[in-house]
Amino acid sequence: MGKVDFKPGNMLYPLPVVMVTVCDKKGRSNIITLAWAGTINSDPPMISISVRKERFSYDMLMETGEFCVNLTNAETTFGMDLCGVKSGRDIDKWKATGLTPLPCSVIKAPMIEECPVSIECVVTKSEDLGSHTIFFGKVVAVHADEKYMDEKGGFHFEQSDPVTYSHGKYYTLGKEIGKFGYSVRKKK
C-alpha cells in the first residue's frame, strides 16, 4: 500500500468555513463565504483571508480595508452555503438567507447575529498572489455568543457545532480525541 502522486495543489483539509462581512463607504454590505482563512499571528492577533479579485466583496475590502470574520456552525450552514454560491451583485444575501446584521463595535461592516463568534479586523496589508489576494487583518474586537459561555467566563465554541469544509462538503466536528499537550502529560 502506498501513496498516489497528485499534481501540485491545495490539499490542506479540512478547513474552517467562515462568513466574512464587508461594506463599502456608502454602507452597503455583503457576506462572502470563505474557507481560505486562518490565524497568522497572536501578538498582535491577526487573521488572513484570501479573496478572488472578481468577487463582489473584493472591491469593498479594497475600498474600506475592514472585514468581520463570522464563525459558522451547523445552524448557519444553509446561509453559509448560499453566500458562497450566489453573488451580492445579483441578490441581497441578508434577505435571501434571513441572517441578521448587527453593528460592529469598531469597524463599519456588520457582524452576523446568528454566528457564535464574530471577529472584527482592519487590513494591515494585502498582497496579490495570482488567483487570490491575501488580506492580513489585525483583530480589533471579538464578540462571542453568551449561550456558549460558562459561569467562569470560559467560552465553549465546540458546543456550537462548528463547521469545516473538505473537498466540496461540509462537516461538523466529531468527538474530542485528546487535549493539547496530552502526549507529554504525566499519568496519575
Check which CATH number belongs to the domain holding 79 and give it. Answer: 2.30.110.10
- Give dist(CA 34, CA 81) in Å, integer: 10
132-144, strands of its sheet edge to edge: 29-34, 18-23, 66-71, 117-128, 132-144, 45-52, 37-42
pLDDT band at 127 (very low <50, low <70, confident <90, very high): very high
- Mean pLDDT computed over 149-172: 92
For the ranges 7-11, 96-100, 179-183, the lowest mean pLDDT is seen at: 7-11
Residues 24-50: tens digit of each pLDDT:
999 999 999 999 999 999 999 999 999
Q: Tell whether 51 is covered by a domain.
A: yes
Q: Tell whether 2 is covered by a domain.
A: no
Q: Tell whether 178 is covered by a domain.
A: no
pLDDT at 110 over 80: yes
Domain that holds residue 130: 15-172
- Name the domain count of the chain: 1
Q: Tell whether 183 is covered by a domain.
A: no
Q: Tell whether 65 is covered by a domain.
A: yes
pLDDT at 7 over 90: no
- Give dist(CA 46, CA 40) in Å, integer: 6
pLDDT at 187 over 80: no
Rounded mean pLDDT of the chain?
94
Count other Cβ atoms within 10 Å, centred on residue 108.
Answer: 16
User: Which of the two residues, 129 and 158, has the higher pLDDT score?
Assistant: 129
For residue 72, the model assigns a pLDDT of: 96
For residue 124, the model assigns a pLDDT of: 98
For residue 13, the model assigns a pLDDT of: 86
DSSP state letter for 61 = H
Q: Tell whether 186 is covered by a domain.
A: no
- Give dist(CA 77, CA 126) in Å, integer: 28
- Mean pLDDT computed over 68-87: 96
pLDDT at 8 over 90: no
pLDDT at 71 over 80: yes
Q: Tell whether 3 is covered by a domain.
A: no
- Mean pLDDT computed over 57-76: 97
Beta bridge mates, 16: 164
pLDDT band at 141 (very low <50, low <70, confident <90, very high): very high
For residue 175, the model assigns a pLDDT of: 82
For residue 188, the model assigns a pLDDT of: 73
pLDDT at 145 over 80: yes
Q: Tell whether 149 is covered by a domain.
A: yes
